[in-house]
Each structure stands twice: as structure tokens, then as C-alpha cells.
């Protein structure tokens, strides 16, 4: 039976084991619209596995995983879950190095449309403004015309977050964003994730205590 919930994300008593090893053992978690949640745990604690369950990459052995009250995520594949409004940032950044920073966001925006719409796509004023706003959010508006290859590792992480924002997710999942970042980038990452959480929900998993603080 599916429980009634008005929460954006609802996990109840989720279990998953790999060859008998209990990676997640009775996890329950509720995220409301507009909430920012940081989840901390040491390496091997099951943080990435939790994100794999939410995004449909791993199916739990038991437990409920619901999105927006009624959508049973355990029955959906990764594409369906992404289309439902869950965006995921993996640990390693994957940006188009040979494109400019702005072009990376443009590609993500075009890619979020259907095929016919992206063939017919011509960037209008509205999209230009939207991309500019995303570039401001990810602190890269001053680097817009530079190649993504020339960004620092931390800035590439931000660019990838921007590419996810172009898809306008209701829930953004971010896996250990500050690994390999400078102290200044780490502080800025905490701020930019807070900015993002003003218009959507954010779950960030980390093992870096100073970032969580
Ligand atoms: P974290 O992200 O907190 O470091 P993970 O979720 O990556 O932790 O891993 C939790 C545990 O589950 C680890 O012991 C890991 O080796 C194991 N694990 C994760 N994914 C798989 C998998 N697909 N197959 C087997 N074991 C896995
Ligand atoms: Mg991990």
C-alpha cells in the first residue's frame, strides 16, 4: 500500500544489500519542497547508494521511495525519474571542455527539450536571460565566453550544477561537491547551493565536516 504524503521526497524503511552486505539498512528520509538538506557520512556509509536509489539506478530490496506524494520511484527507470524533476550531480564533473561556459548551459537547455523542439531551437531573449541568471547563480557570469577546459576543477563542478539547473529540477541531488576544491571554492559552494535552494529542494551528501558546518 502506498502511504499518503504531501512531501516532495519520501523514503521509508529502505533496505539494500549487495551480496549480503547491508549498504543501506532501514533508511527513512522526508524532504519538503524548498528544503535544503545536507547528509553527512564517512566513505562507504551508503551516501551514493542512497542517491542511486532515489534516481532509479539501484532498486531497493524493500521500503518506499515516493516523489511528490504519489510517484513510486522504485517502479521508474532513470530517464523517467530525471523527467519527473530529479536532477543529479555526480562526483566527477562532466562538462563539454571544448565549448564555452555559456555554450555548455545552452546545450543543457536545448537537451532538456524534445527532439523536434531542439532541432527548431533558436535562442530567444528569454533563454539568453535565463542562461545569464544561471551563470550568475553558479558564479561564472564573468567566465561565460571562456572555454570550459580553462576552468578550475571547482568551477567545472559549478558549471555542471548550472547544466542541471537548465533542466529546472524540483529536486537537485549533489554528491560530494567540494572534493578537490580550494577552501574559498568550498565556502562559495555552500552559498550557491543555498541560493539554489530558494527555488527548489536540494540534497547534498558530503563527508567533509567543514563544508557541512
Ligand atoms: P559512500 O557514497 O557513502 O562513500 P557508497 O554508497 O558508495 O558509500 O557505498 C556503500 C557501500 O556499498 C560500500 O561498501 C560499497 O562498496 C558498497 N556498494 C556500493 N555500490 C555497490 C554495488 N553496485 N555493488 C556492490 N557493492 C556496492
Ligand atoms: Mg559516494
Would you say the CB of residue 53 lies under 6 angstroms from ligand 1?
A: no
Q: How far is the CA of 25 from the centre of ligand 1 (A)?
A: 13
Distance from C-alpha of 177 to C-alpha of 13, rounded to nearest angstrom: 27
Q: Report whether pLDDT(102) > 60.
A: yes
- The protein residue with its alpha carbon nearest to ligand 1, atom 6, reads 46
Instruction: Using a pLDDT cut of 90, give the percent of the chain over it.
Output: 79
When comparing pLDDT for 92 and 129, which is higher? 129
Evaluate if residue 4 carries a pLDDT over 90.
no
CB 172 within 8 A of CB 106: no
Q: Return the ligand 1 atom nearest residue 42 CA.
A: 3
Residue 90 is classified by DSSP as -
Closest atom of ligand 1 to 51 CA is 6
Query: Helix, strand, or coil here: 117?
Result: helix
CB 62 within 8 A of CB 8: no
Which tops the pLDDT comparison, 146 or 116? 146
Query: Ligand 2 mean position to 155 CA, how many Å?
Result: 20
Q: Please state the pTM of the whole predicted model.
A: 0.91
The 10s digit of each residue's pLDDT in 154-197 is 999 999 999 999 999 999 999 999 988 999 999 999 999 999 99
How many angstroms separate the alpha carbon of residue 21 from the centre of ligand 1?
9
C-alpha cell at 149: 577546459
Count of H helices and E strands in the chain?
8, 8
- What are the pLDDT digits (tens) for 29-70? 999 999 999 999 999 999 999 999 999 999 999 999 999 988
Q: What is the spatial distance between Cα 2 and Cα 65, in angstroms, rounded to a whole number? A: 10
d(CA 41, CA 161): 22
Q: What separation in angstroms does the CA of 9 have from each of 48, 69, 175? A: 17, 7, 17
Please give the biggest Cα pair distance in the chain. Answer: 55
Q: Is the pLDDT of residue 78 over 60?
A: yes
CA dihedral 89, 90, 92, 98 (to 10 degrees): -50
**3 vs 104 pLDDT, higher one:** 104
Amino acid at each position: 500500500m502506498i502511504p499518503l504524503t504531501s512531501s516532495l521526497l519520501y523514503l521509508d524503511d529502505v533496505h539494500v544489500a549487495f551480496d549480503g552486505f547491508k549498504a543501506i539498512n532501514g533508511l527513512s528520509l522526508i524532504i519538503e519542497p524548498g528544503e535544503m538538506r545536507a547528509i553527512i557520512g564517512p566513505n562507504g556509509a551508503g551516501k551514493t547508494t542512497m542517491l542511486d536509489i532515489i534516481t532509479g539506478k539501484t532498486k531497493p530490496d524493500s521500503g518506499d521511495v515516493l516523489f511528490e506524494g504519489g510517484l513510486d520511484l522504485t517502479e521508474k527507470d532513470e530517464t523517467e525519474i530525471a523527467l519527473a524533476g530529479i536532477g543529479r550531480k555526480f562526483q566527477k564533473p562532466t562538462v563539454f571542455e571544448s565549448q564555452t561556459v555559456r555554450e555548455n548551459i545552452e546545450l543543457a537547455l536545448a537537451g532538456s527539450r524534445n527532439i523536434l523542439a531542439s532541432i527548431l531551437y533558436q535562442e530567444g531573449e528569454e533563454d539568453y536571460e535565463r542562461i545569464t541568471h544561471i551563470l550568475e547563480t553558479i558564479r561564472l557570469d564573468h567566465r561565460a565566453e571562456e572555454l570550459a577546459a580553462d576552468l578550475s576543477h571547482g568551477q567545472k563542478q559549478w558549471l555542471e550544477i548550472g547544466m542541471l539547473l537548465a533542466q529546472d529540477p524540483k529536486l537537485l541531488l549533489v554528491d560530494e561537491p567540494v572534493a578537490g576544491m580550494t577552501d574559498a571554492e568550498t565556502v562559495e559552494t555552500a552559498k550557491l547551493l543555498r541560493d539554489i535552494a530558494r527555488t527548489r529542494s536540494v540534497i547534498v551528501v558530503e563527508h567533509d565536516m567543514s563544508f557541512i558546518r
